[in-house]
Amino acid sequence: MKKFLLAGVAMSALVSGSALAADMPVKYKAPPPPVYTWTGCYGGIEGGWMGDHKRYDRDTVFGAPAPTSNDSNAISGLIGVTLGCNYQVSPWVVIGIEGDVSWTHMRNSESFTYPASGGLTARTEVLGTDMDWLATVRGRIGMLVTPSALLYVTGGVAFVQDKSSLSVVTAAAAALGSQFAGSDNKTLTGWTVGVGGEWKMASYFGPGWSMKAEYLYVGLPDHSFSSPLSGGGAVWNTDVTRHSENIFRLGLNYSFGGYGPVVAKY
């Protein structure tokens, strides 16, 4: 009888303990924090502002040295598309390659009038700048200041469609109803370096989206062209030097793989 009594007490204690355990609150286990990766390829749009600078050095006219050189400066907006790929080599370092094509409408004309001097008659010179597009292919290396913010330096090759022109009207040519006029329209290959920052915008646009701000300096080679007299018999030669572009722009990119938050696993 005593054995049955002890068994009943033990059974009651077991049942009571199970009931108490069932009534206890379950502790909430927070999800793991997201781990970001910048590895992946992306495409996007960009736009901003571009400033063009070049110097026109006149070489000879009728065999006499030209007395002056003049600078030409122009400003235009630009808009374009971007493609690139990144690879996150460590928790703090990202490398990549990026290419872009931008369209612009750079148009500038500057006029200079000179009195007769040095055996030359009075004349008016008009310098012209026209540009419709530019493209770059660049490497990038950056440092993550936070998991979602990248500061980088970039550099590579640049391609620019450029038209430079010079027309000269002298008193003698005007009397004959003619003038000197010439231009070149070519694709120039130069170099570019710059700095920028890129930030993930998942909280604003959704996973995969990022925004960047960037400055690029573009250096372009010297080139020459001639402005012959329309009536024939004389040529005005021009060297284009110190040709450069300064570009400030913003961009919005979307990743096609990686490049967004990845949930850490325990």
Cα torsion through 87, 89, 92, 94, rounded to 10: -30
Structure-block tokens of residue 53? 């600078």
DSSP H helical segments within 79-227, as ranges? Answer: 171-175, 202-205
What was the pLDDT predicted at 25? 54
For residues 97 and 128, is the Cβ–Cβ distance under 8 A?
no
Confidence (pLDDT) at 258: 57
Which band of pLDDT confidence, cut at 50, 70 and 90, is reported for residue 207? Answer: confident
pLDDT bin (cut points 50, 70, 90) of residue 36 is low
Contacts of 210 (CB under 8 A, 6+ apart): 42, 198, 199, 200, 201, 252, 253, 254, 255, 259
More confident: 24 or 148:
148
Cα–Cα distance for residue pair 221/244, rounded to 1 Å: 9
Reported as a pLDDT band with limits 50, 70 and 90, residue 6 is: very low
DSSP state of 220: -
First to last CA, the chain: 54
Predicted local distance difference test score (pLDDT) of residue 1: 44
pLDDT at position 192 is 98
Domain boundaries, the chain: 37-260
In CATH terms, is domain 37-260 a member of 2.40.160.20? yes
DSSP conformation class of 256:
S
Between 48-52, 130-134, 163-167, the lowest mean confidence (pLDDT) is in: 163-167
Would you mind telling me the total number of residues written for the chain in this entry? 266
Provide the total of helices (H) and of strands (E) in the chain, helices listed first.
3, 13
Per-residue confidence band for 234, with pLDDT thresholds at 50, 70 and 90: confident
Question: How many whole angstroms separate alpha carbon 18 and alpha carbon 27?
Answer: 18
Judged against a pLDDT cut of 80, whether residue 66 lies above it is answered with: no
3 state DSSP class of 223: strand
Element holding 205 (H helix, E strand): helix 202-205
C-alpha to C-alpha distance for 197 and 212, rounded to whole angstroms: 5
Structure tokens at 116: 């007769």
Task: Give residues with Cβ within 8 angstroms of 22, minimum separation 6.
Answer: none
pLDDT given at position 33: 52
* 45 neighbors 80 (Cβ within 8 angstroms): yes
Banded model confidence at residue 34, pLDDT cuts 50, 70, 90: low
Mean predicted confidence (pLDDT) in 212-231: 91
d(CA 186, CA 165): 12
What is d(CA 252, CA 211) in angstroms, rounded to the nearest whole number?
A: 5
Q: How far from 161 is each of 49, 69, 83, 134, 190, CA to CA, in Å?
A: 17, 23, 20, 6, 11
Q: What is the mean pLDDT of the chain?
A: 82
Q: For position 242, what pLDDT does the model report?
A: 92
The residue with greater pLDDT, 123 or 29, is: 123
pLDDT in tens, 90-148: 999 999 999 999 999 999 888 888 887 766 677 888 889 899 999 999 999 999 999 99
> Can you give the pLDDT at residue 10?
44
Q: Mean of the pLDDT values across residues 177-189?
A: 86
Residue that has been written with the tokens 């690029």 in this structure: 216
